[in-house]
Amino acid sequence: MDAERWQKIERVFHAALQAEPSLRATILEDSCAGDELLRRQVEALLAHREKAGTFLETPAFATAKQTSGSEKPPSTSGGAARFGVGAAVAQYRVLAEIGAGGMGIVYKAEDTKLGRLVALKFLPETLATDASALERFQREARAASALNHPNICTIYDIAEYQGHPFIAMEYLDGRTLGEHILGCTLDGDEISKLGIQIAEALSAAHSKGVVHRDVKPGNIVATVTGPVKVLDFGLAKLIGSQGGNALTKSLTETHAVAGTLPYMSPEQLRG
């Protein structure tokens, strides 16, 4: 796929994405002008945008906003459990709500048994009741937890509390790479150090048969203590025997378009 074709796909995709859903068919018809392959490629990206956004794609790092309240049974908002500051969730004590969205809620919490900070990510109730989505959620967590590397966000546990599935993972105090780049001027040595850490993280994942497939500035955190952390393996692909009997197992649907358009390779776009 040449650069001109790629740019055309991206241009039509963004035009359709920004339009009202009721107008998208008209925009695609006008923009594709009889190019059925182009239309199918853009429609696949739009469908992925609507359905894929996996739970693990919500970064769990310190942009925390404080919430008020005392320990009480969870309420739900947007289909995910909500807990007040100080609430006990299994062995964890909620300290703050980091963020919430369509794919769940993330909390900063303390592991009261091990005395460390963690991030708790709760699966939305709408997905928790879907057997296939829950299985995928669990496979995603297992894929990430198999990776032990200083430049990869660590998964500590996958559990359930009062019927709400969640992942306990490393709490990252820092900024996304995109925010980090915008907030400072980096010299050549600093850029090289960042690149080496990211490459080492991906190399470690590949050695375990895990291909990330959504590497982008928003999925990389520059921590305040120095190390860069790659996170969000929700769109990862397992290659080899790690995923079960099949030689190749994707954590997304077979032939689904996986990734974020501006950072996707042509191979990813073709599914």
Same structural domain, 47 and 107 = no
Same structural domain, 184 and 165 = no
Residue where one domain finishes, among candidates 137, 154, 170: 170
pLDDT tens per residue, range 50-65: 644 444 555 555 443 3
Q: Which two tokens stand for residue 239?
A: 């290659």
Same structural domain, 122 and 79 = yes
Same structural domain, 94 and 163 = yes
pLDDT for position 261: 74
Q: Across the beta sheet with 220-223, what order do the strands follow?
A: 174-176, 220-223, 228-230
pLDDT for position 53: 47
Q: Which two tokens stand for residue 65?
A: 């906003």
The radius of gyration of the chain from alpha carbons, rounded to an integer in Å, stands at: 20
C-alpha 252/C-alpha 52 separation (Å) is: 8
Q: CA 256: distance to chain centroid?
A: 16
Please give the residue range of the domain that contains residue 259. 174-269
Of the spans 60-69, 119-128, 173-182, which averages the highest pLDDT?
A: 173-182
Same structural domain, 142 and 198 = no
Query: What average pLDDT does this structure show over 116-136?
Result: 80
Give SS3 for 97: strand
Same structural domain, 218 and 235 = yes
Residue pair 43/257 in contact (Cβ under 8 Å)? The answer is no
Same structural domain, 149 and 218 = no
Same structural domain, 165 and 236 = no
- Give the CATH number for residue 65: 3.30.200.20
C-alpha 257/C-alpha 41 separation (Å) is: 9
Residue pair 264/216 in contact (Cβ under 8 Å)? The answer is no
Active site residue 232: no
Strands (E), 124-200: 155-161, 164-170, 174-176
- Give the CATH number for residue 256: 1.10.510.10
Name the average pLDDT for the chain.
Answer: 78
**Helix 36-51, helix 24-32: angle, nearest 10:** 150
> Which residue has better confidence, 269 or 202?
202
Same structural domain, 23 and 92 = no
pLDDT tens per residue, range 199-230: 999 999 999 888 888 888 888 999 998 899 99
Instruction: Give me the catalytic one of 187, 189, 214, 232.
Output: 214
C-alpha 218/C-alpha 59 separation (Å) is: 8
Straight-line distance from the first to the last Cα atom of the chain, in angstroms, rounded to the nearest whole number: 13
Same structural domain, 40 and 119 = no
